[in-house]
C-alpha cells in the first residue's frame, strides 16, 4: 500500500514537472518569435535610426527623434548601451499600453535591456540624439 502511494505521488510530481517544463519551453521559444514581430531599430524605422557601423562583433546605430516624433514599433533583441548626445526626454510605449518617461542627459550612457517591442516619442522641447552600441 505504501509503495502504491509513493508511486502515485511520484507520478503526480512528474506530471506537474512536465507541465512546468513544457510551459517554460513554450515561453522560451515564444520570446524569439515575439522579437520577430517587431524588427530591430534600424530596420523598423529608418527615418529615426541609422546603421552607422557593423561587423561580426558590434553594431552602432544612431537614433534621432525630431521634436514630437513618435517612432514605429521596434525591438532591441540584444543587450546594448545608449549614449545621449544631448539633453532630451523620450516617452516609451509598451505594447500593453503602459508608458515610461526617460530623461537623457548629454554625455550619459545607460544600459538598454532586451526589449521585444515598444515605441519611443520625443516629448521634449528639442531634437533628441542617441547612439546605440550593440554587442552581437
Mean pLDDT of 24-43: 56
pLDDT exceeds 80 at position 79: yes
Q: Which CATH architecture best describes the domain 41-135?
A: Sandwich (2.60)
b/e sequence 98-113, b meaning 16+ C-beta within 10 Å = eeeeeebeeeeeeebe
- Percentage of residues in the chain with pLDDT exceeding 90? 68
- Sorted by where each begins, the domain ranges of the chain are 1-37, 41-135
Residue-level pLDDT at 85: 98
State pTM to two decimals: 0.71
pLDDT (tens digit per residue) in 56-73: 999 999 999 999 999 999
Amino acid at each position: 500500500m505504501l509503495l502504491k502511494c509513493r508511486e502515485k505521488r511520484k507520478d503526480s510530481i512528474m506530471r506537474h514537472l512536465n507541465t512546468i517544463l513544457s510551459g517554460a519551453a513554450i515561453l522560451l521559444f515564444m520570446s524569439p518569435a515575439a522579437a520577430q514581430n517587431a524588427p530591430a531599430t534600424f530596420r523598423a524605422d529608418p527615418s529615426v535610426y541609422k546603421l552607422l557601423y557593423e561587423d561580426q562583433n558590434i553594431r552602432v546605430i544612431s537614433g534621432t527623434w525630431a521634436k514630437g516624433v513618435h517612432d514605429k514599433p521596434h525591438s532591441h533583441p540584444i543587450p546594448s548601451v545608449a549614449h545621449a548626445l544631448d539633453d532630451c526626454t523620450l516617452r516609451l510605449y509598451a505594447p500593453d499600453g503602459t508608458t515610461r518617461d526617460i530623461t537623457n542627459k548629454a554625455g550619459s550612457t545607460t544600459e538598454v535591456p532586451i526589449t521585444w517591442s515598444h515605441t519611443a516619442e520625443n516629448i521634449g522641447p528639442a531634437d533628441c540624439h542617441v547612439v546605440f552600441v550593440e554587442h552581437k
